[in-house]
A and B are shown apart, each in its own frame.
Chain A
Amino acid sequence: MEHITAGEIGRLTGSIVRQVADFAPWLRKRGFRAGVPETLTALAALTELNLASIDEVCSAFRSIYARTPAEWGIFPTLFEQYFGIREARLEEKRRLQPEDLMGGTGSGENAERPPLEITQGILAGYHPNDGERFALRADGQVLKDVVKLTQLAVRTMDAPRGRKWQSRGREKIDLRQTIRSALRQSGEPFELKMRQRSPDKPRIVLVMDISGSMKPYAPFITSLAWSFTRVRARTQIFLFSTRLLRVTSLIARKGLSGIPYSDLPGLRGGTRIGDALAQLLHRYSSLLQRHTCVIIISDGFDAGHPEQMHVSMRDLADRVGRIVWINPLLGEPGYEPTSVGMSIALPYIDAFVDVHDVTTWKKAVHSGVLRAAP
Chain B
Amino acid sequence: MNEQVRRLQEELHRSHYVAEEGLATVVHLAQRLARPLLLEGPAGVGKTALAKALAAVRSVNLVRLQCYEGLDASQALYDWDYPKQLLTARTAFTDGAVKQEALYSEAFLIERPLLRALRERPAPVLLIDEVDRADEEFEALLLEFLSEFQITIPEMGTFRASEPPIVILTSNRTRDLSDALRRRCLYFWVDYPTFEQEAAIISLHVPQIAPNLVKQIVFSVRRLRKLSLLKPPGLAESIDFAQALTELGAQELNEEVIRHTLGCLLKTQEDMDLLKERGFDLLWNT
Contact = CB atoms under 8 A, between A and B. Distances in A.
B232 interface: yes
B246 to A, nearest CB: 26
Interface string A87-105: 0000000000000000111
Contact of A59 (B21, B100, B222): B21
Interface residues of B, number: 56
B90 interface: yes
Interface in A73-96: 73
Given A104-B225, A187-B89, A287-B175, A53 B2 contact: yes
Interface string B159-200: 000000000000011111011001100111101101000000
A72 B86 CA distance: 53
A187 B70 CA distance: 29
Given A200-B69, A248-B176, A63 B225 contact: no
A124 interface: no
B29 A182 contact: no
B141 interface: no
A180 B82 contact: yes
Interface stretch (B32-40, B53-61, B249-257): B32-40
B44 to A, nearest CB: 10
A182 B28 contact: no
A53 B175 contact: no
A50 B3 CA distance: 9
Interface string B1-34: 1101100000000000000011001101100111
A285 interface: yes
Contact of A248 (B33, B82, B175): B175
Contacts of A200: 69-70
Interface stretch (A13-21, A106-114, A135-143, A293-301): A106-114
Contacts of B4: 48
A187 B82 CA distance: 11
Interface stretch (A22-30, A37-45, A220-228): A37-45
B146 to A, nearest CB: 11
B113 interface: no
A337 B50 CA distance: 53
What interface size band does chain A fall in?
35 or more
B187 A66 contact: yes
Contact of A186 (B35, B93, B183): B93
A282 B230 contact: yes
A108 to B, nearest CB: 11
B277 to A, nearest CB: 14
A162 interface: yes
A69 interface: yes
A347 interface: no
Contacts of A68: 182
Given A104-B42, A282-B228, A183 B89 contact: yes
Contacts of A53: 1-2
Contact of B98 (A55, A107, A186): A186
A60 B25 contact: yes
Contacts of A33: 179, 183
Contacts of A67: 179, 182-183, 187
Contact of A285 (B135, B175, B230): B230
Contact of B85 (A1, A109, A179): A179
B242 interface: no
Contact of A56 (B25, B82, B89): B25
Contacts of A104: 41-42, 191-192, 225, 232
A63 B37 CA distance: 9
12 contacts: A48-B28, A60-B26, A63-B37, A63-B187, A110-B191, A110-B192, A110-B222, A179-B83, A183-B89, A187-B98, A200-B70, A282-B230
Given A48-B2, A60-B29, A63-B186, 4 more contacts: A67-B187, A103-B173, A107-B191, A248-B176
Instruction: Give the 3 A-B residue pairs with the shortest CB-CB distance, closest first.
Output: A187-B89, A104-B42, A179-B82
Interface of A: 1, 33, 37, 41, 44-45, 48-50, 53, 55-56, 59-60, 62-64, 66-69, 72-73, 103-107, 109-110, 112, 162-163, 175-176, 179-180, 182-183, 186-189, 200-201, 234, 236, 246, 248-249, 253, 278, 282, 284-287
